[in-house]
Amino acid sequence: MGGIVLVEGENELNVQMAHITGIIDAEYLAGYVMWEGVGWKLVKLENQWPADTDITLLWIIKNTGTVASHFRVYMRSFTEWVYLEPGQQTEVYEETRSPSPQTTTHRITLSGDPGGLIWDARIEVTYI
């Protein structure tokens, strides 16, 4: 899987997310989704994805705190914990199967250890 290039101002979730200050600090930079036959698509506040399909989610996060910490992202399942030094950013992946046709609100969370929840956002996905 190739890397993602961020386009400033392209990510609607950054404007809408609720930031929670904790012991550590991090920033959600972008989220992308991909399924068979389709390249990476930006995760937005309102999305349309295929139903009953294997999908890959890519989350780009950055440690904006002053201490090294572990971080993970959750939408349908938790990603692996990743260790980031202050100022370091990375990509984490979430592999999942989309549900049957429906419209669902998902909560995306970024958590750190120690400290717990750092921020969350809600997105709507219509599975067709």
Question: Which tens digit of pLDDT belongs to each residue from 42-53?
Answer: 999 999 999 999
Q: Which superfamily, per CATH, for 12-127?
A: Coagulation Factor XIII, subunit A, domain 1 (2.70.50.30)
- The 10 Å CB-count burial string (b at 16+, else e) for 96-105 is eebeeeeeee
The answer on pLDDT for 15 being more than 50 is: no
Structure tokens belonging to residue 120:
């969350």
The answer on pLDDT for 93 being more than 80 is: yes
